[in-house]
Structure 1
Amino acid sequence: MHVLRVDKVYEIYKQLEEKHVLLSFKGMITSELLTTILQIMESKMEHMDEKPKVKRKVFNILVECLQNLYHHIDQEDRIHMPLEDKSALLMIAKREFEYEITTGNYMKAEDVQPLKEKLDLVNSMNKDELKAYYKQVLSEGSLSQKGTAGLGMIDIARKSGEKLDYNFSPINDTTTFFSLSVKIAE
């Protein structure tokens, strides 16, 4: 039995092509994988002869998105989670004048509301308000259990200049799948 029907592979290829997907990954995020993905995207953007300013913007946002995926599940959680819950999704697409980075990962259902509130707050702010909020959070300096100050989503919104598109899909009483999509205009 095949994992994927061989007669469906071209259909999947066409769908990825139609959506202009440059890179797609599903699996466990490791520090080695982060480095590899960044190297692949750097090479792809060089090949596309992308402007340095655009490359820097995409690269910086991609780093933040990957760090969010990597830091989301701490080592202690990983021991007790089923394999599929350790898995994450990353897709990077390039349309004519914008990039789109989409991520997805499992999270604890109890963490949905605080994250939703933070995302809504970030999305309600303009550029100047985001800058002030970033400085405020940075100066308060309270680190989360994962060693971050919660600056990632603020930084992504600041650097992209766009609202963060997100979704929470409940899996069961304890687990939710969180999806985030960030558009980066050239």
Structure 2
Amino acid sequence: MSDFLNQCYAQMHKGDIIVAYKGTINADVIADTLGLVESKLDDLLEHNLVRKKLYNVLVECLQNLYHHVDSVKYNEASQNFGAFVLSKTDTGYRISTGNMVKSDKRVVLKEKIDKINSLSKEELKDFYKFVLNNQTFSEKGGGGLGLIDMARKTGNRLEYQFSSYDEDFDFFNLNVLITE
């Protein structure tokens, strides 16, 4: 499994890397990462609006990663595996996250992201309100607002890719672009 995950992680590395991590995803890793990124952004960004947007979207991405990782039960080391990369690009910043998801979630997740990507700014706003008022929570506590919120805050399409690991699991890679 490690060769497969290393290949997926390597594909996430694009642009000038600010922070990169792969390993067990837990609350401490998320908190430490957010502290590190906040410090680095203070040094890198003079535009407060871009820094705030980038940080807020990163929080949402890492929360999604933490709450929606599916554990592969083959061995202890592979449980709750996730990866993320924050990098600088020519046009702004890129947040790339990756985690294992059960293959049977692939279609629903793809449809959800494709729907979000098809909506205009105004339609996204309306859809956000609709989901907020009519949401049902998943078994992991998610109501579906995270992806919508990322698209709204960035004004960009959510890029994604699934890489089949085995018949039960896929590696899900989400890329979010924050333009300056």
TM tier relative to shorter chain: 0.7 to 0.9
TM-score by length of 1: 0.85
**Which of the residues 128, 134, 138 maps onto 2:132?**
138
User: Which of the residues 26, 46, 49 maps onto 1:50?
Assistant: 46
Query: CA 1:139 to 1:51, structure 2 compared with 1: closer, same or farther past 3 Å?
Result: same
Q: Which has the larger radius of gyration?
A: 1
Residues 49/123 of structure 1: CA separation in 2 closer, same or farther (3 Å cut):
closer
- Structure 1 residue 87 and structure 2 residue 81: aligned? yes
Show CA shifts across 1:19-75 (max 9, x none).
3000100011111111111111111111124311111100110001000110013xx
Residue 73 of structure 2 contacts residue 79 of structure 2 at CA under 8 Å; is this kept in 1?
Answer: no
Show CA shifts across 1:62-118 (max 9, x none).
001000110013xxx649453325211100001344000001111100000000000
Asked if structure 2 preserves the Cα contact closer than 8 Å seen for 1:85 and 1:106, the reply is: no
Corresponding residue pairs, total: 168
The sequence identity of aligned pairs, in percent, is 40
Q: Which runs of 5+ in 2 are unaligned?
A: 1-9
Match of 1:3 in 2: none
- Alignment match, 1:9: none
Task: Please show how residues 1-186 of structure 1 align to structure 2 within 5 Å.
Answer: 19-73=15-69, 78=71, 80=73, 82=75, 83-186=77-180
Residues 152 and 81 of structure 1: is their aligned pair in 2 closer, same or farther, counting only changes over 3 Å?
farther
Task: Let me know the Cα RMSD of the aligned residues.
Answer: 1.8
The runs of 4+ residues in structure 1 deviating greater than 2 Å are 77-86
Distance 1:50 1:163 in 2: 25
Gaps of 5+ in 1: 1-11
